[in-house]
Structure 1
């Protein structure tokens, strides 16, 4: 699998280029800014962008979406629970749910519904690599004091992630940590939001 993490925009965002090295079919994840930067990276890998996947629909993750759609004609993939004005975009909108698979050539990206930061936030898992959007950062997690956020759901999401394999490498939506990615096992031990023993501890850290 091709996975390139690309710093974009003025808010420390990461966008991602995903692709199947054999079929050369590709996808862009979270085109918040700098569409040309993301497309240049895809071109370096020889990828034809067929999908644009959104981990959620906050402004800083979709600002360049229209430009990306115009330049690629790719379909947009988003969770069915995520507030999203699909009529703004002149392309196919594909709605997914928990445990769905998103095909990218011969690859299958597993959808993990991780609500809390937004109702339809998702993580994307293939093998031992997981793009976590604004659900889980290196050393942190997404805000839960925004419209549509839910602290209780985020707590449940953290419990869901704690059950996953320690060897999974997380690739977040923002460059907020000491490193651009991190093993999930490390986050379970050192990320205060993932290691909180009780709901009250978690709320004390996050709220």
Structure 2
């Protein structure tokens, strides 16, 4: 994991690698930091996975695509919604597996933060962007946000993922990434709410100290 920042925005960018082959998730802000790690560890980059189109998750995608000649993957729904463009961009659809050498990647469409937000399941690890944080769920009040869809996305992940699935979100707000579904079911309030109307009203409540104070 790389922690990169731009003023007050702190991102978690992930490099998944084995046998000197790597894939980046949501590379942002610090190309030299990430590229130096790739070079020093002799890791050949073979792809970039984007969870959604917001700049803090995509702003290095084109640079890596150009300099490393690798494909960049984004949900078809997100490309249509945002108009996002970069070199070597490939649209993907939910549950249609991506094969990159030894990596089997299952994209799972999880709208709510944006219409085409998507999570990537690799073995028992899920890279959840701004859909699911360890502490809560993503903002649903910005352009393209839909709290009803967020409810559906949370329920879908709860239903289809094994309990030993480990979550790696795009940001942290107190908890380290890498907690499993069991932890979220016990500690993430949005995974505990069983009524849709309660979920919607709670996420969109007006008295939040800030949008990332999840309780």
Q: TM-score, normalised by structure 2?
A: 0.86
For structure 2, the residue ranges without an aligned partner over 5 or more in a row are: 205-215
Matches of 1:172 and 1:133 in 2, distance apart?
Answer: 5
From 52, 57, 62, give the equivalent of 1:61: 57
Give 4+ residue runs of structure 1 displaced > 4 Å after superposition.
none
Alignment equivalent of 1:27, drawn from 3, 7, 23: 23
Q: Tell whether the 8 Å contact from 2:120 to 2:127 is kept in structure 1 after alignment.
A: yes
Q: Of 68, 75, 84, which residue of structure 2 is paired with 1:72?
A: 68
Q: How many residues align?
A: 199
Matches of 2:156 and 2:40 in 1, distance apart? 36
Unaligned regions of 5+ residues in structure 1, if any? none
Q: Distance in 2 between matches of 1:40 and 1:63?
A: 18
Match of 2:13 in 1: 15
Q: Which region of structure 1 is more displaced relative to structure 2, 97-106 or 147-156?
A: 97-106
The equivalent of 1:114 in structure 2 is 110
Cα 1:37/1:78, change in 2 over 3 Å: same
From the superposition, tell whether residues 66 and 92 of structure 1 become closer, same or farther in structure 2 (CA, over 3 Å): closer
Residue among 2, 5, 8 paired with 1:6: 2
Q: How does 1:31-180 map to 2 (within 5 A)?
A: 31-82=27-78, 83-86=81-84, 88-89=85-86, 91-163=87-159, 164-180=161-177
- TM-score, scaled to structure 1: 0.89
Q: Closer, same or farther in 2 for the Cα pair 1:185/1:134, shift >3 Å?
A: same
User: Does the 8 Å contact 1:25/1:104 carry over to 2?
Assistant: no
User: In structure 1, how many angstroms separate the alpha carbons of the residues matched to 2:112 and 2:41?
Assistant: 34
Aligned-residue Cα RMSD (Å) equals 1.6
